[in-house]
C-alpha cells in the first residue's frame, strides 16, 4: 500500500511517501522551488516522492492532508467573535481569503491533485484528513524506537491546539490532553522573535542563538505578567499584551510599555537589551517544557518521551530536558515543524485509519538518518556541472575523502553535497558546509563571507558517534542535531581576567575551547553524532580528518546562504559555491577548487548574492 502525506498552505509545505510502514521519501517544497518556507501545494515534492518509489499516481491508495481546514476556519471565526469589535481590520483582510480558498480547501486540494497527478483518479475518494497535532504526534511516536511512550507536541497553533499530550502504545496513539489557542508557548516565543526584530516562523533560531549573550533579567517579569504556569506545566497567556489573535502584529503597545520600548527594527544594531530579552524568553521556555515533562511523567508513568512541533526544534530546551532525566529515553522528530506533519499524516493513516500493526524499528529509529530526499548519480552530477561551466576533477572515493580532509585541515571551507538530501530544517552531512572547528576565525568567516548572516550565530559540530563523550558532556546519540550539550571541561580554554568580565556581544571573538568555531559563549554546542550506517561517506571524511589532526569533529552548517533554502541539486551547489567564499566543493565523486573556476562566472554569481 502506498500512502502520500501532504502539508501545505501555511509554511514549509512538504510531501512524504510510505510503502506500507516504510518511509520511502520525504522532502520540502522549498528545496525545489528555491523559495524559503514555500507554503504552496508541494507539487514538486510529490513528483519527487513518486519518482523515488518508481510508481505512478494511480498506485496511491490514500492521500492524507496534515490538518482539518474547516476546524481551523472555525477557530479563526470564533476568535474574532470572542475579541470583537477588536481586530476588525485583520478580520476584514482574512475573511475573503478564507471564504474564497481555505474554507473550501478540500476542493482546492482535489484540484491541485488533479493538476499534479492527473484526472484519471477520483482523488475525492482517496483523500483523507488528519488533525494537526495528531499529525505531529504520529510523526514523533511511530518512527521512534519505543513500543510505548508519552508524546508532547508544542508549536504555534494548529486548528485549535497549541500543545498536546498523547499516549502511544503499539499501533495505538491517542491525544489525551490539549492546550488551546490563543494560549501558546510557540507564539510566546514568536512574539519575542518579532519584538527583538527577527522574522516570525524563521527567526526563532536567531533568538535561541542570541540568548547566551544575554542575562535573563526579564524572566520574572514574563512569568509575572505574560504567562501563568500551573503545577503540571499547563499555561495561560495574558492576551491583553498580545495582538496575534486578531491583530496584524504579534505584540501591542501594552507589551511595549511592559518591556520598556517599541520592537527593534529589523536589521538595526543589536543591543544588550535584545540579548537579555532573548535570554529571558529562552529561560522561561525551558522552564515550561521541564514543568510539562514532569507533569506528563507523573500522570502517565511512562519512561519514554517523544517530541514534535516547532518548539521541539529548540535544541537548548531539549538538552536541558535530557539532563533533567525526567524520562529514561527521549526521541525527537527531526522534521518537527509543519513539514513533518506530512510524515505524521501518512503514518496516522497507515496505523489508525487503515488499522495496521506496528513493528518497532530495530535500528536507531525508522527515519533512515532522515536522508529521505533526492540523490544524484555521478552521470547526473557531471551533466549538471558541464551545463554550469564548472571545472572539476573526478576522483575515487578514497581520493575524494583524503582531498576533502586535507582541505579542512588547511582551514578551507568546503561545500559538501553527498547522497540523499535531508528531510527537515537541519543539514546533517548530505547538504552541508563543513570546516575546521579548531580555527578561531572560522565562525566569523563562515557567517560573514559564506553564509552572509549575523556574526553572533553559532555553528554546530558533527562528531563521530564513537568520540562524542570524549569531547562533550553527552553520552548518547544525537543524530539529528536536536540536543545541546557543553564541551568537556578538559577541552575548554582558561579565560583571562580581562576576558571573564566581557559582556554581551564582546564575548564573540574570545576562543573558549580547543574547538572554538563550534563552542558557543556559554561553552555549549548543538551536537550531531555521525554514524557509519546512515552516512558512511560523511563518517569517513570526519574519520580521515581525525587521522590527520587528532580532532574527530568538523564544523557543520547548512549548505545555503541567508534567505535561501538549503541546496538540493548539483546546480544549486555550484551556484552557492561560486557566489560565496567557499574554497572547495565536493559533489558526489567530483571535486571543484575555487581558484580553477572561470573568473567571469565567479563575478557573476558573487554579484547576484550581493544584490540579494
Please name the residues in contact with 261: beta carbons below 8 A apart, sequence gap of 6 or more: 273
Task: Cell 534567505: give the residue.
Answer: 563
Q: Which three cell numbers stand for residue 80?
A: 474574532
What's the pLDDT at 90?
58
- In SS3 terms, 337-380 reads as CCHHHHHHHHHHHHHHHCCCCCCCCCCCCCCHHHECCCCCCHHH
Q: φ and ψ at 184, to 5 degrees?
A: -150, 125
Q: What does the radius of gyration of the chain's CA atoms come to, in whole angstroms? A: 24
In contact, 345 and 131? CB cutoff 8 Å = no
- pLDDT, averaged in runs of 10, over the chain (612 residues): 95 96 98 96 98 98 88 55 56 57 76 96 95 95 98 86 95 95 94 95 92 96 98 96 84 96 93 96 98 97 97 96 97 97 98 96 93 98 97 98 98 97 97 95 82 79 98 95 96 81 72 91 95 97 98 97 94 96 97 94 70 37
Q: Where in the chain is the domain with CATH 3.30.420.40?
A: 2-144+341-368, 180-331
In contact, 323 and 140? CB cutoff 8 Å = no
What's the pLDDT at 452?
77
Phi-psi region of 555 (alpha: psi -120 to 50; beta: other; left: phi over 0): beta
What's the pLDDT at 559?
97
Closest C-alpha to 30, from 422, 328, 295, 313: 422
pTM recorded for the entire structure: 0.92
CA 574 – CA 344 distance, rounded (Å): 34
Q: Which three cell numbers stand for residue 75?
A: 477557530
Please name the residues in contact with 502: beta carbons below 8 A apart, sequence gap of 6 or more: 510
What's the pLDDT at 93?
59
In contact, 29 and 13? CB cutoff 8 Å = yes
- In SS3 terms, 104-160 reads as CHHHHHHHHHHHHHCCCCCHHHHEEECCHHHHHHHHHHCCCCCCEEEEEEECCCCCC
What's the pLDDT at 74?
54
Instruction: Name the DSSP class of 251.
Output: B
CATH architecture of 378-611: Alpha-Beta Complex (3.90)
Give me the torsion for CA of 248, 253, 255, 260, rounded to 10°.
Answer: 140
Closest C-alpha to 526, from 604, 464, 461, 467: 461
Q: Which three cell numbers stand for residue 167?
A: 499516549
Closest C-alpha to 238, from 216, 260, 255: 255
CA distances from 62 to 20, 39, 339, 348 (A): 11, 22, 18, 11
Please measure the distance between the N-terminal and C-terminal CA atoms of the chain and give it in whole angstroms: 45
Instruction: Name the DSSP class of 492.
Output: B
What's the pLDDT at 150?
98
Q: Where in the chain is the domain with CATH 3.90.870.20?
A: 378-611
Q: 180-331 has which CATH code?
A: 3.30.420.40
Please name the residues in contact with 184: beta carbons below 8 A apart, sequence gap of 6 or more: 155, 156, 157, 162, 163, 237
Q: What is the largest CA-CA distance in the chain?
A: 74
Q: Is the preceding omega at residue 182 within 30 degrees of 0, hence cis?
A: yes
Query: Which homologous superfamily does the CATH classification assign to the domain defined by 2-144+341-368?
Result: ATPase, nucleotide binding domain (3.30.420.40)
Burial (CB count <10 Å: 0-12, 13-18, 19+), residue 336:
buried
Amino acid at each position: 500500500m502506498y500512502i502520500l502525506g501532504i502539508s501545505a498552505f501555511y509554511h514549509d509545505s512538504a510531501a512524504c511517501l510510505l510503502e506500507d510502514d516504510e518511509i520511502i521519501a520525504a522532502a520540502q517544497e522549498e528545496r525545489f522551488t528555491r523559495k524559503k518556507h514555500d507554503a504552496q501545494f508541494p507539487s514538486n515534492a510529490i513528483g519527487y516522492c513518486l519518482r523515488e518509489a518508481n510508481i505512478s499516481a494511480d498506485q496511491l491508495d490514500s492521500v492524507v492532508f496534515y490538518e482539518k481546514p474547516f476546524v481551523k476556519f472555525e477557530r479563526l471565526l470564533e476568535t474574532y467573535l470572542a475579541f470583537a469589535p477588536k481586530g476588525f481590520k485583520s478580520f476584514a483582510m482574512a475573511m475573503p481569503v478564507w471564504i474564497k480558498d481555505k474554507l473550501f480547501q478540500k476542493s482546492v486540494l482535489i484540484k491541485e491533485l488533479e493538476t499534479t497527478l492527473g484526472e484519471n483518479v477520483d482523488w475525492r475518494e482517496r483523500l483523507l484528513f488528519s488533525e494537526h497535532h495528531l499529525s505531529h504526534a504520529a510523526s514523533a511516536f511511530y518512527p521512534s524506537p519505543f513500543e510505548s511512550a508519552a508524546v508532547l507536541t508544542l508549536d504555534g497553533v494548529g486548528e485549535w491546539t497549541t500543545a498536546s499530550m498523547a499516549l502511544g502504545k503499539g499501533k495505538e496513539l491517542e491525544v489525551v490532553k490539549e492546550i488551546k489557542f490563543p494560549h501558546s508557548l510557540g507564539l510566546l516565543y514568536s512574539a519575542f522573535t518579532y519584538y527583538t526584530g527577527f522574522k516570525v516562523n524563521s527567526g526563532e533560531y536567531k533568538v535561541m542563538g542570541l540568548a547566551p549573550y544575554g542575562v535573563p533579567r526579564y524572566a520574572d517579569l514574563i512569568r509575572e505578567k505574560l504567562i501563568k504556569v500551573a503545577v503540571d506545566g499547563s499555561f495561560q497567556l495574558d492576551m491583553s499584551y498580545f495582538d496575534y489573535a486578531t491583530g496584524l502584529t504579534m505584540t501591542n503597545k501594552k507589551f511595549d510599555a511592559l518591556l520598556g520600548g517599541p520592537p527593534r527594527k529589523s536589521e538595526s544594531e543589536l543591543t544588550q537589551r535584545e540579548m537579555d530579552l532573548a535570554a529571558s524568553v529562552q529561560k522561561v521556555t525551558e522552564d515550561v517544557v521541564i514543568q510539562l515533562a514532569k507533569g506528563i511523567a507523573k500522570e502517565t508513568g511512562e519512561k519514554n518521551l517523544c517530541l514534535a512541533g516547532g518548539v521541539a526544534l529548540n535544541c537548548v530546551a531539549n538538552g536541558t530536558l535530557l539532563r533533567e532525566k525526567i524520562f529514561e529515553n527521549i526521541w525527537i522528530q527531526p522534521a518537527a515543524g509543519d513539514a513533518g506533519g506530512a510524515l505524521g499524516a501518512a503514518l496516522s493513516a497507515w496505523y489508525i485509519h487503515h488499522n495496521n500493526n506496528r513493528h518497532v524499528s530495530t535500528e536507531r529509529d525508522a527515519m533512515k538518518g532522515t536522508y529521505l530526499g533526492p540523490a544524484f548519480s555521478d552521470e547526473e552530477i557531471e551533466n549538471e556541472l558541464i551545463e554550469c561551466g564548472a571545472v572539476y576533477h573526478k576522483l575515487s572515493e578514497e581520493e575524494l575523502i583524503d582531498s576533502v580532509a586535507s582541505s579542512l585541515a588547511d582551514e578551507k571551507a568546503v561545500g559538501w553535497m553527498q547522497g540523499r538530501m535531508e528531510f527537515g530544517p537541519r543539514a546533517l552531512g548530505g547538504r552541508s558546509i563543513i570546516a575546521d572547528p579548531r580555527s578561531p576565525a572560522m565562525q566569523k568567516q563562515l557567517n560573514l563571507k559564506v553564509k552572509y548572516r549575523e556574526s553572533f550565530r553559532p555553528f554546530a559540530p558533527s562528531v563521530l558517534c564513537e568520540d562524542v563523550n570524549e569531547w562533550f558532556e553527552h553520552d548518547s546519540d544525537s543524530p539529528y542535531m536536536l540536543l545541546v550539550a557543553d564541551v568537556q571541561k578538559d577541552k575548554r580554554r582558561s579565560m583571562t581576567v580581562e576576558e571573564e568580565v566581557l559582556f554581551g556581544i564582546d564575548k564573540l571573538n574570545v576562543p573558549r575551547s580547543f574547538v572554538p568555531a563550534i563552542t558557543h559563549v556559554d561553552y555549549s554546542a548543538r551536537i550531531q553524532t555521525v554514524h557509519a550506517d546512515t552516512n558512511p561517506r560523511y563518517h569517513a571524511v570526519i574519520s580521515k580528518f581525525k587521522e590527520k589532526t587528532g580532532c574527530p569533529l568538523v564544523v557543520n552548517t547548512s549548505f545555503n546562504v541567508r534567505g535561501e533554502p538549503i541546496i538540493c541539486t548539483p546546480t544549486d551547489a555550484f551556484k552557492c559555491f561560486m557566489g560565496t567564499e567557499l574554497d572547495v566543493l565536493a559533489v558526489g565523486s567530483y571535486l571543484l577548487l575555487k581558484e580553477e573556476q572561470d573568473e567571469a562566472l565567479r563575478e557573476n554569481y558573487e554579484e547576484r548574492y550581493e544584490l540579494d
